[in-house]
Amino acid sequence: MSKTSEERSLLVLENYIGGKFVSCRSYIDSYDPSTGEVYCKVPDSGKEEVDAAVAAAKEAFPEWSACSPEQRAKILHKLADLIEANLEEFAQAESKDQGKTITAARTVDIPRAAYNFRFFSTSMLHHTTDCSPMDHMGCLNYTVRCPVGVAGLISPWNLPLYLLTWKIAPAIAAGNTVVAKPSEMTSVTAWMLCKLMQQAGVPPGVVNVVFGSGPRAGDALVSHPEVPLISFTGSTATAQRITERSAPYCKKLSLELGGKNPAIIFADADLDQCIETTVRSSFLNQGEVCLCTSRIYVERSIYSAFLERFVAAAKKWKTGVPSDPSSKNGALISKEHLEKVRSYIALAKSEGGIIHCGEGLDKLDLPQRNKSGYFMPTTVITGISDSSRVMQEEIFGPVTCISPFDTEDEAVARGNGVRYGLSATVWSKDVGKVHRVAQQLQAGLVWTNCWLVRDLNLPFGGMKNSGVGREGGKDSYHFFTEVKSITIKH
Ligand code: NAD
């Protein structure tokens, strides 16, 4: 059947299985969020494609896992080099596919994707295992760590290549082979990465990428009996489903989930630095970062001054066309997501909340071709009760709520008063206070007087409904390997 000219101009992705690009029987439309137009077709894979990918990964496992860590490290370094060499092409693609600004893609997403390979290629070389002698028994005990087998990796749409490589890099560096399923809404850079796999010399079958939806391709991967390990980043609701579906196989799970992250700002904070950083932590990447601040608690004595300055700074955080270097925010991921985020503003209004800027107040100045894009201005809300859904649920958009507090204990209790526990920020010049509060906050990551400073050696992950397990230098090594205790009697 001959293709129409519209079909010819669309980007059509293919699965990457056993080192080969393979087309699929059906496809999913993928939209350019900045225009609302379909521009790409993503394979709508199901069980058949996942089975083929798992078979390829299984076949590649014995040889790959038997390579020396140094041999694997060399290939990971090569991948990092290749991503860096193609940085601009990847950044353009990520920005178009996700709606994020070209600046964010150039300075955050793609450099970090390269660094993920660089970091894990070397960190994997430096782990040691335990040894514990029992001389009175004539025994020596020690541990060994082995790769687990075929790792199933499922990633979300907000930081597409960044989060996918955060999983692929440690999985293969530790000697596993993988089947990855990126988000069906942002699959393009994962497909581009497959081309680099060939160039870097990743043997066929070591990395397989199957594109498609969660309920079809994702579910087939999660419930595949020969995939003993799943690393998932996404929403808490999907994680619950994955936990159920993988339970019959007792799979090893790492779940990196949503957040409703508080910032606690004391009166003695350096307000210049705090406001600049908290505007960024609230709105970076359209607020579509799991670590974004969405509840800001401010000590009452500085509340009015803080609010005024924060709203003024939020208004300056320009939302515009992603390709414009002066845009700080681009478009949200989809029409459905934009509507969902907007519904929280309507809810806040209906509950008596005050909208200080953004949705409904500030009009965006967009070119004609972007009028149907999924844009929303940065929005600041006050006057909402902590029990409101606006303060309890993850909105995942350019929206933040501000509220005053009176005491340190109150700030901690309110900070902890949600089902999530991913990250938090604390602002104060009082070192003792900072330590006390950080210690009490129920969050996997606490930043004080800063935000998003990441040392990949340290554990990353959430408490409560924000996740199960940790990833990062030693933690990823532990997750992507099985430990065995061996006792030798002499
Ligand atoms: P999502 O849960 O809808 O989807 C994530 C991935 O899971 C996608 O690839 C999707 O196709 C797949 N999926 C969906 N249903 C599935 C199923 N039944 N079985 C298997 N796979 C399935 O999440 P999203 O909307 O893509 O991402 C946004 C969410 O991710 C937010 O909640 C955000 O906080 C979270 N997130 C967390 C972190 C973290 O590190 N903690 C990082 C980024 C994003």
What CATH number should be reported for the domain holding residue 28?
3.40.605.10
Tell me what pLDDT residue 6 has.
56
Task: Give, using CA atoms, the residue closest to atom 18 of ligand 1.
Answer: 215
In a domain, 459, yes or no: no
Mind listing the pLDDT tens digit for each residue in 165-215?
Answer: 999 999 999 999 999 999 999 999 999 999 999 999 999 999 999 999 999
Distance 29 CA to ligand 1 centre (A): 18
Tell me what pLDDT residue 157 has.
98
Task: Give, using CA atoms, the residue closest to atom 39 of ligand 1.
Answer: 256
Q: Is pLDDT of 3 > 80?
A: no
Contacts 24+ apart (CB under 8 A), 407-415: 408/266, 408/433, 408/436, 408/437, 411/264, 411/266, 411/297, 411/299, 411/437, 412/264, 412/437, 412/440, 412/441, 414/262, 414/295, 414/297, 414/386, 415/262, 415/264, 415/295, 415/297, 415/441
Task: Give, using CA atoms, the residue closest to atom 15 of ligand 1.
Answer: 214
Q: Is pLDDT of 2 > 80?
A: no
Ligand 1-lining residues (CB < 6 angstroms): 154-158, 163, 181, 183-184, 213-215, 218-219, 222, 233-235, 238, 241-242, 256-259, 290, 394, 396, 422, 462, 467
Q: Indicate if 201 and 297 belong to the same structural domain.
A: no
Q: Indicate if 360 and 377 belong to the same structural domain.
A: yes
Residue 256 known to be catalytic? yes
Backbone angles phi, psi at 209, to 5 degrees: -125, 120
Q: Is pLDDT of 248 > 70?
A: yes
Q: What percent of the chain has pLDDT over 90?
A: 98
Task: Give, using CA atoms, the residue closest to atom 42 of ligand 1.
Answer: 290
Q: Is the dihedral of CA 460, 121, 82, 189 positive or negative?
A: negative
Instruction: Please state the rounded mean pLDDT for residues 448-475.
Output: 98
Quick one: angle between helices 110-123 and 87-98, nearest 10? 120
Q: Indicate if 109 and 149 belong to the same structural domain.
A: yes
CB atoms within 10 A of CB 369: 12
Q: Is pLDDT of 10 > 60?
A: yes
Q: Is pLDDT of 396 > 50?
A: yes
Distance 204 CA to ligand 1 centre (A): 27
Cβ atoms of 62 and 89 closer than 8 Å: no
Structure-token match 């929280």, residue found = 344
Tell me what pLDDT residue 100 has.
98
Strand 207-209 with 27-32, pairing: unpaired
What does the mean pLDDT of the chain come to?
97
Nearest residue to 94 (alpha-carbon basis) of 238, 352, 272, 288: 288
CATH number of the structural domain spanning residue 301: 3.40.309.10
Q: Is pLDDT of 1 > 50?
A: no
Which of 98, 183, 419 to mutate for ligand 1's pocket (most ligand atoms within 8 Å of CB)? Answer: 183
Task: Give, using CA atoms, the residue closest to atom 9 of ligand 1.
Answer: 183
Task: Give, using CA atoms, the residue closest to atom 36 of ligand 1.
Answer: 234
Q: Indicate if 114 and 23 belong to the same structural domain.
A: yes
Q: Indicate if 251 and 277 belong to the same structural domain.
A: no
Q: How confident is the model at residue 277 (pLDDT cuts 50, 70, 90)?
A: very high
In a domain, 184, yes or no: yes
* 73 vs 18: CA distance, rounded Å: 21
Nearest residue to 318 (alpha-carbon basis) of 351, 366, 248, 390: 366
* 202 vs 176: CA distance, rounded Å: 12
Cβ atoms of 288 and 375 closer than 8 Å: no
Question: By residue range, what is the domain housing residue 437?
Answer: 261-448
Distance 398 CA to ligand 1 centre (A): 18
| Atom number, ligand 1, closest to the C-alpha of residue 184 | 11
As for how many domains the chain has, the answer is 2
Q: Indicate if 275 and 353 belong to the same structural domain.
A: yes
Q: Indicate if 167 and 198 belong to the same structural domain.
A: yes
Q: Is pLDDT of 488 > 50?
A: yes
Instruction: Please state the rounded mean pLDDT for residues 276-305.
Output: 98
CB atoms within 10 A of CB 339: 11
Q: How confident is the model at residue 9 (pLDDT cuts 50, 70, 90)?
A: confident
Q: Residue 354 forms beta bridges with which residues?
A: 382
Three-state SS at 285: helix
Instruction: Please state the rounded mean pLDDT for residues 325-346.
Output: 98
Distance 446 CA to ligand 1 centre (A): 23
Structure-token match 């079958």, residue found = 205
* 144 vs 401: CA distance, rounded Å: 49
Q: Indicate if 189 and 57 belong to the same structural domain.
A: yes
Structure-token match 């985020």, residue found = 341
Q: Indicate if 249 and 310 belong to the same structural domain.
A: no
In a domain, 238, yes or no: yes
Looking at per-residue pLDDT, the higher value among 2 and 295 belongs to 295
Tell me what pLDDT residue 132 has.
97
Q: Which of 49, 256, 359, 471 is catalytic?
A: 256
* 472 vs 256: CA distance, rounded Å: 12
Q: Indicate if 190 and 319 belong to the same structural domain.
A: no
405 Cβ contact partners less than 8 Å away, ≥ 6 residues apart: 264, 297, 298, 299, 300, 411, 414
Mind listing the pLDDT tens digit for each residue in 398-444?
Answer: 999 999 999 999 999 999 999 999 999 999 999 999 999 999 999 99
Distance 34 CA to ligand 1 centre (A): 21
**Total count of residues recorded for the chain:** 490
| Atom number, ligand 1, closest to the C-alpha of residue 236 | 32
In a domain, 356, yes or no: yes
Q: Is pLDDT of 5 > 70?
A: no
Q: Indicate if 288 and 368 belong to the same structural domain.
A: yes
Three-state SS at 193: helix
Tell me what pLDDT residue 259 has.
98
Q: Indicate if 67 and 207 belong to the same structural domain.
A: yes
In a domain, 1, yes or no: no
| Atom number, ligand 1, closest to the C-alpha of residue 466 | 41
Tell me what pLDDT residue 101 has.
98
Instruction: Please state the rounded mean pLDDT for residues 304-314.
Output: 98
Distance 257 CA to ligand 1 centre (A): 7
Residue 486 DSSP symbol:
E
In a domain, 3, yes or no: no
Distance 233 CA to ligand 1 centre (A): 5
Tell me what pLDDT residue 4 has.
58
In a domain, 5, yes or no: no
